[in-house]
Structures are given as structure tokens and as C-alpha cells.
A and B are shown apart, each in its own frame.
Chain A
């Protein structure tokens, strides 16, 4: 199975900050990488698919990049509604696996 890691596990930031979350795969997954946002008690919400494609309705402050084994999710200017946990997921090969998550909270 492909193992996914994320860093940092958590971070504290202020509204307006630029935030970067890193996701690494244990082997090359091309661009088969998706990013999700999850708020407490809610289902995950798709933000980015295929490493860099913005899902419909997701604000432009979210962006994704990377290929192979290293990927990045960037929030250009953190908004109050962005405080949540973020997960990456590889869909290159079965079983599709998720990272452990990065919790973004208020500084």
C-alpha cells in the first residue's frame, strides 16, 4: 500500500496568513492526489483534485501543486472559515489511502 504523510500535524495561524501544508507519498503517484477539508462533525469536502485542479465552488485562495511524491496545499490568505483539518489522498493505486491530516487552528 502507498503510505501518505503530512506535515506539519498541526499549525496555528492568524486570519490573513499564508498557510502551506505538505503531503508526501511513499512512492510516485504522478498527479493522483486530492485534498480535502474537514470541519468537526462534518464530512470531508473536496478542495483540490488531480494535484492542482480546483473543485467547483472552492475559493481561489486554495491552490495545490506537486507531482511524483511531493505535494503542497496553499491557502493564500487564511479566512476564519478555513480553520479545519486538511487531508491528502492518493488515488494512484488501490487501496486509495489518506494522509493523517493537518489541523489548522487559530493562533
Chain B
């Protein structure tokens, strides 16, 4: 059974940092791209970042470029999101999701339960 379990969320002051983690199990982690998606009151569901199977290729949405970094450790079956210079608009639930592919179409087929990030002074 595919399982994705996020951790690391919490309360942080504006300008602060957090590191989110996602522990994966039930599938061959190093064969899949992985994704962080967030759900915020202001923008709804928003893809934050993707990372290739070996960590070589990464994509970050413009609103987090230079502040957030996605990474992975295939030996630990883990995905990470390093978040710096946090802003109020970054607050929300952050989901880890597996990215799958079929006939040229990408889709997030399995999601974790999410971890809540609160940015407030």
C-alpha cells in the first residue's frame, strides 16, 4: 500500500524557516518524480515544486523561487521541502504527492495527509 506521511509543519514567524519531510513507503520511491502541493486560503491548491527521480531536475513555482528548495534522499525514501523567508501568504496545508505518468499525461496519484504551516508573529 502506497503511503506518504508528511511532518515538520508548525508555527513560524514571518521571515522564518521550516523544513518539511515526507516519508514514502509501499512503492519504489526512486522510480517516481515527487511533488509538493499546498492549499492556502488565498490561492487554493497550488503546485509548489517537483523533483525528478534522481534529484537532478527540479521545478519550483515562481512565487517560491529563491526561498524554497525541494530535495530527496532515495536511500531514506524521503522527500523534503526547505522553506526560508516565509511569508504570511505561504501559510496553509502542504501535501506530498507522487507524480505518475501515462501516455504523455502527468498526474498526482497518491497524496499524503498534509502538514499545516502557520506563519504569524
Binding site for B on A (CB under 8 A): 30-32, 34, 42-46, 49-51, 53, 55, 87, 89, 91, 94-98, 100-101
- Nearest CB of A to B54, in Å: 19
Chain B interface, >50% SS class: strand
The contact of A91 among B44, B62, B107, B110, by CB within 8 Å, is B107
Number of A-B pairs, beta carbon distance below 8 Å = 60
Task: Tell me if A50 and B44 are in contact (CB < 8 A).
Answer: no
The contact of A49 among B62, B95, B102, by CB within 8 Å, is B102
Q: Beyond the given A49-B107, A89-B45, A95-B59, please list 5 additional residue pairs across the A-B interface where CB-CB is below 8 A.
A: A31-B105, A46-B110, A55-B109, A97-B47, A98-B44
A34 to B105, CA, bound (A): 9
- Nearest CB of B to A8, in Å: 16
A34 to B44, CA, bound (A): 16
- List the 6 closest pairs (A to B, CB-CB), nearest first: A49-B107, A43-B111, A98-B45, A50-B105, A91-B106, A34-B107
A30 to B106, CA, bound (A): 12
- Nearest CB of A to B82, in Å: 19
Chain A residues, Cβ within 8 Å of B104: 30, 32
Q: Number of contact residues on B: which range applies?
A: 20 to 34
Task: Tell me if A46 and B114 are in contact (CB < 8 A).
Answer: no
Contacts A43-B95, A44-B111 known; A91 to B45 CB distance under 8 Å?
no
Contact with A along B90-105 (1 / 0, CB 8 A): 0000010000101111
Chain B residues, Cβ within 8 Å of A89: 45, 107-108
Could you list 27 examples of A-B contacts with CB < 8 Å? A30-B104, A32-B106, A34-B105, A34-B108, A42-B113, A43-B113, A43-B114, A44-B95, A46-B109, A46-B110, A49-B100, A49-B102, A49-B107, A49-B109, A50-B105, A51-B105, A53-B102, A55-B109, A87-B44, A89-B45, A89-B107, A89-B108, A95-B47, A95-B59, A98-B47, A101-B44, A101-B45
Chain A residues, Cβ within 8 Å of B61: 95
Task: Tell me if B47 and A96 are in contact (CB < 8 A).
Answer: yes
Task: Tell me if B107 and A46 are in contact (CB < 8 A).
Answer: yes
